[in-house]
Amino acid sequence: MNIQPIKTKIFQEGENLFEFITKYIKKVKEDSIVVVTSKIVALFERRTAKIENIETKSNLIKRESEFAIPTRYAWLTIRDGVVMASAGIDESNANGKFIMLPKNSFASAALLRIQLQKKYKVRNIGVLITDSRTMPLRAGVSGVAVGYAGFKGIKDYRGKKDIFGRTFKMSRIDVADSLASSAVFVMGEGDELQPLALIEGANVQFCDRVNRKEIYIDIGNDMYRPLFDQLPK
């Protein structure tokens, strides 16, 4: 698998996202995935806000979240089934504004995929919209898929045999987040000016329709929930 980060100019709020991508990515082969950071998708959608004080910021975070509780460092939230800080609202590289996540990243990815299929004249093309998140008990951030289209986000091994003939009962690979982490690593988090990337040779199953629920686990079935219920306050 090869991941090529794409260096660009600064994306401006309200700028045409499709034209921006096709300006910097001239050709795309079959079975490729175009990676787009969520920040420029949100800027295209004008998903920005000016925050005057702590109260208005807190209200925005709660409005953008399915669940939100304040912690020592930031708001701990759930947005679109993903645990993240402050509903993904970002102040970095935002030129004085707060940038929210796209309104519906899966819908944005699906629409962009159709446009790119026509532009590049390819059938099998994926679109992956990424953001960053922290992981419990781990320092630093890694990439996460907030939306994708054109490929299956989960590879299911359940019912198949391992190398010794044992049947897998629970094993699944989180394809979408694995690709997102790899792409975000090469795209960077600072002043690299690489909001796009092109993935070639990924071992994924391309498809026309994505079931966005495939990647989510209900909180009642999450294997880590008992651990955090038992941690000292």
User: Under CATH, which number does the domain 2-47+101-230 receive?
Assistant: 3.30.1330.100
Q: Is 194 in contact with 6 (CB distance < 8 Å)?
A: yes
Domain boundaries, the chain: 2-47+101-230, 49-100
At 26, the pLDDT band (50, 70, 90 cuts) reads very high
Which pLDDT score is estimated for 95?
74
At 129, the pLDDT band (50, 70, 90 cuts) reads very high
Tens-place pLDDT, residues 85-127: 999 998 776 677 899 999 999 999 999 999 999 999 999 999 9
At 64, the pLDDT band (50, 70, 90 cuts) reads very high
Which pLDDT score is estimated for 230?
65
HEC profile of 133-162: EECCCCCCEEEEEEEEECECCEEECCCCEC
What mean pLDDT value characterizes the chain? 91
Beta bridge partners of 58: none
Degrees to nearest 5, angle at CA 146 with 198 and 24: 25
Prediction pTM value: 0.92
Q: Please give the single-letter amino acid code of residue 227.
A: L
Strands (E) located in 80-190: 82-85, 98-99, 125-134, 141-149, 154-156, 172-174
Residues 55-72, mean pLDDT to the nearest whole number: 90
Query: Cα–Cα distance between 141 and 24 in angstroms, integer?
Result: 27
